[in-house]
Each structure stands twice: as C-alpha cells, then as structure tokens.
Structure 1
Amino acid sequence: MQSPDGDVFDCVLSHLQPAFDHPLLKGHKPLDPPERPKSNETSGTEEIIAESFQQWHDSGGSCPEGTVPIRRTTEKDVLRANKLRRFGKKPIRHLRRDSSGNGHEHAVVFVNGEQYYGAKAKLNVWAPKVTDPYEFSLSQIWVISGSFENDLNTIEAGWQVSPELYGDSYPRFFTYWTTDAYQATGCYNLLCSGFVQTNNKIAIGAAISPRSSYRGRQFDIGLMVWKDPKHGHWWLEFGSGLLVGYWPAFLFSHLRSHASMVQFGGEIVNSRSTGAHTYTQMGSGHFAGEGFGKSSYFRNLQTVDWDNNLLPLNSMHLQADHPNCYDVRQGRNTVWGTYFYYGGPGRNIRCP
C-alpha cells in the first residue's frame, strides 16, 4: 500500500514479522489482548480538540486480518544513516541527567521513587522544524528502570520528526526500547526483533495527520504503555483504545519486574558542538508560557500501579536542560487532570 506521503507499507503475516526472528520468540504467535488498566478519572475533552490519526489510511485503510502493516525500509533510508551500524538506533547515552553535554536537550516532567507499571497521556501533534539532517525533535513517554550509565532499560512511544530516519519532515508515530543504555540492544519501531505488533490498522513509523496549528485547531493522540498483570509483557495502546502490540518481558532486565521512573515531554538533538545553538524546534516551536493553541501540551497524565489502576501523577519533577531554548510549565484542572506545556524555538535572543 502506498501512502500519500510516499511511504510503502507491506501487509506481513503476523507470525512472520521481525519480532519472531528473536531466538526466544521463534515459533510463537502474538498473544491475546491483556486486561486494560482501571480508571476512576473521567477525562473530559473540549470540543476544540480532535484526534489525529495516520496518513497512510488515506490510501486504503488497513491490512487484512492476520497480517500487520510494516513500513518498507528502502536503500535510501539506510544510506541516510550517519553511521550504518547505528541505523535504526538512538545515539548512545542520550538520556543521562547531565544530558546538556551530549547534544540531547529535554523539557520534561517525571516521577520517580515508586514502582510503576505503566503510563498514560494525551499529547498534541505538531510538525516542528528540524534544521539539520542528523537532528530530530520528538515528544514521547519514557518508562524507565536501571542506571543511566550502562544498564538502562527504557520503553518509549510518541511522535517524532527525524529527517535522517524517515527522509522527510512529517511527525511520525514511533516506538523505541533498549536494555543497555542504547549501546547495542533495541531499536526504533520494527527495525529489529523485539516488539510484537498485533494491530492490522496501526502502522508504526507512519506519518500522523492532521497536525496542530498555531492559533488554529489542535489535534492530539492518546498513548498508554502498561504491564500486563497476567503475562508481564509491556503493552502499547494508541488513540482511543487501539492496542498496537507488546514488548515481551524477557527483552528486559530491570523492566522485567517494574519501572522506577516515568517521564513525559520533549527532546531534541543539537548537533552543533560549538558556536550557535540549533534552530531545531521542540513541540510547536513556542515556549510553554504561550498556553493553549500556541504551545505543545501533554494532558491527563497518569501512571499505572501494581494493581493495574490508573492514578494521577503525584510529586512531579520538572526539568528543562536549557530553559532559554526550551521550557516546561505544569498545571492541573478538572478537564485535563495533570497537564503541562513545553517546548520552544531553539536558537533565539536568550538562546544564542
């Protein structure tokens, strides 16, 4: 199937998807859906917000039952990679707390100090400008355990603009995982064996459309990652209750039991090691203080507890590595629950 944006999607038999190349998954079949976390919170939505979906649906909808859509990797995709052996992988140690020294800059909200079994949020989708082919701009949920030095386990999902990975400037739905702080394990999307896709309508790596516009309509996506209480695998939900698939528990060391941190927010890569800061935008490209319709947001933030209950965030921490370039501001109300605005333009008068 060809998407209007030029992508080609192959409908692959579920049991022949890349996940089942993994030695521990050979001969297996995708699992049945797990029990969904329970929520006591009613999440109201203002009429001005609509749900984004995926652009490839414009070309015909979905794959047949028993298959999953996989974005075709082309020779051009591989040749664009900065380092061929790192194709489909994030740069090493991109999520350290002192991240200002390695080109990765964050504006995030996080919680830690407890045992977490999942996270959920709605986030609006933009098309931030990325000014260097080896930079990216993303907004995502991180589910984290382990040390930031060498055995970090993460599960990640959100949207990103990455000219290097996709060859364009569209925001795309993506996933990521690692068990060794991005050194050798894990990858984006389905570019290695690991994540098991179960949905024939959602394509990981596909462009998201429509997008939010400044002073215009706002479009957001729902994301939830949680640990199935029965089998222990980490499941991913996209939009309004659409199960995408799962990361098998055996892929991980620390996350085999639970997460010790959950993080929400934006990240960019500033590839300029010296001189002026990059113009690459985070979120909408506008600071958090501009608010609704202008800034990017995450709303209805929740975590999942040991008993598979969704709970509002408590004792949140805010972190902006370079607040003059990208910042973050939190709030709470009855409609959006716990929420925050974040982002920025990158280089400006205060961020030279």
Structure 2
Amino acid sequence: MNTITKYVVLLTLCLIATGMSAQETQKDSIAYRENGLKIDRLTELKKTIQEEEREFLKAEVEMINERLEKGLITKSQAEKLKKEAAKKRALNIENRIAIIDNKIALLERNDAEYNDGNSESVMIGVSLGKFSGFSFSKNKPKKYDKRTTSDLVFAVGFNNAIGEGQKIGDEYTFMQSGFLELGWAWKTRVFKDNNAVRLKYGFSFQWNKLTPKDDRYFVQDGNTTTLQTFPSELTESEFRITNLVFPLHFEFGPSKKIERKNYFRYSTYKHFKIGIGGYAGFNIGTQQKLRFKEDGDRVKEKIRRSYNATPFVYGLSAYVGYGSIGIYAKYDLSPMFKDQTFDQHNLSMGFRFDLD
C-alpha cells in the first residue's frame, strides 16, 4: 500500500468516526428533548387529573341528588354517599398524582430508552409545541339511568317481487334473489320505570336483488320499464336496487333489570322480543348485470341507470327474535317502478342480527 493510499484510508476512517460521533451526539440530544417533553406532558397531566376527578365527583353528587329527589334514598343516606364519593375522589387524586410523580422522577434520573416495565401509555393524543395532547380515561362514572343504547343491525335473506294476481316465484327465481341490510339503530325505553316497550330507530342501507326467469332482463323505454326476453341465452341476469332508509319499530318484550350500587340497566339478553314498524327513504342506485355469450366470447355487462325506479321508498317491516338473533320480514308499499301500468312490490324474508 503506497503513501497516498494510506492517507486516503486514514482520512476515510476519520470521517466515519466523526460521523458516528455526530450521530451519537444527535441521538443523545433527541433523547434529552424527548425526556423533557414527556416530563412536560406528565406535569400537565397532573392538572388534568385534578380537574377530571372533580368533574367525576360533581357527576356522582348529581346522581345522588337525583336518587334523593326520586325518593330512592333518604337524606342521611345521600349525605353518607356524598362523603364516601368525596373521600374516594380525594384518594384517587392523591394516588394518581403519586404515580405521575414517580414517573417524572424516573425520567429525570434515566435516559429516554429506559424501560420501567409498564407498557401502558399515560397519554393518548397528539402534541404540538406546548400543547400536551388529549387524555382519555376509562374510569368515567356510569350514567345512573341510560334510557338509550345503540347497536349494529345486519339482515340477510330471500327477496322477491309480487303484484296483483302474482305469487312469490312467478317472475323471479326464489333461491337466487336475495336482500342484504346493514345499518345502525338506537333503542330508547318508552316508559320511565319499565322496559316493556322500546322505540328502535336509525338508518340502514338495503340491497334488493332480483333474478328474472326464462332469460329475461329489464328494458327501459322512456318512462316505461318492462321485462323482455334477451336475444340470446343468459348465464346470469341480476337486477339490484339500493336504498337508504330510516326504519322505525316499536319493540316489545321482557327484559332483566340489572342493579348496581351507582347505576342500573335493562338487558334483553336471552329474552324474546317482537318489533313492528316500517321504514321510509330514498333510492340511491339501480344496476343490472348480464352475462352471456356472443360470437363464442363471454360477455359481462353492468348497466347503471334509473330504470324508472321509485325515488321515494317506504314500507312495513317486523321481526321476532331471541337475544340478538331474529326472523325478519319487510314489504315495500311503494312500487318498484314509478308510473307503470302494472305495479310490483319488493318482499323480503330472512334473518336479522341486532349486535347490541
């Protein structure tokens, strides 16, 4: 190795060492700043804890006063409960702040990579400058009487369309025509002191699919929509109407009252229920899908147009269930197509799941 090569290698090693040193210094600086930010957030969190526990105490006192006004407890019992609540919240503040102080002491004594063995985060949110983020607490006191709850609604089953003098399956295949419904519902107890009657309401997307028989498909000619025979053999003929509806049901059935120290709830788990009502909404899409062979080639067509589908839809619906599962039926009082000489109405039957 000649002299020039030695100098080049030596210079390269020096540059690498300098770069590594600079990276370590930068890393230490970042770690120091991260520790400082964590300490700032924890300091702000101490203030949030005090405010949060005071708000919890205020809510508990309001619930106690509400029970006193309803005659569920005596004045002396109310005073005792208030003192217990105040003592509990004072101890909560003391204990939670002690935990924060210990975390701050650990951060001040160690570097940012120190692991205290606790993987839970004390703060969830975003930080920007001096803004310390949002904190979320899981120990928020329960509302004493919660009359409204919400749940996901899912329904699936068979769909068909009938008109005057027609039976199910006359025009459309029974097994290949179906419906799907997905929505969100709120359930409110009607009476103050019992849960025998509930009002269930919300919004749902309904997909109603029809499969015409005998190689027929829908044809729109101006303001008229008719079923006609396709020029060649169809391997698939599917007509789908998509609606956004707002159901409303009166739900009847027994329930179990669950009473706790600071709240009570009604549960319909493992109980029978009956829902009777209806829905109204709007058509938001109509599509026809056809599959056939043309000159030996397989052809698939998806046609999206109005097909004169009724823009405003409404109907009747009902369900009978046990717990979260039920049998469901719905019938469109509005015709499938507007301004037709012969009206047809969607009829659906299947299963309903109220995932509350």
Please state which band the TM-score falls in when normalised by the shorter chain: under 0.3
Under a length normalisation based on structure 2, what TM-score does the superposition of the two structures give?
0.18
| Highest RCO, 1 vs 2 (Cα 8 Å, sep ≥ 6) | 1
Under a length normalisation based on structure 1, what TM-score does the superposition of the two structures give?
0.18
Bigger radius of gyration among the two? 2
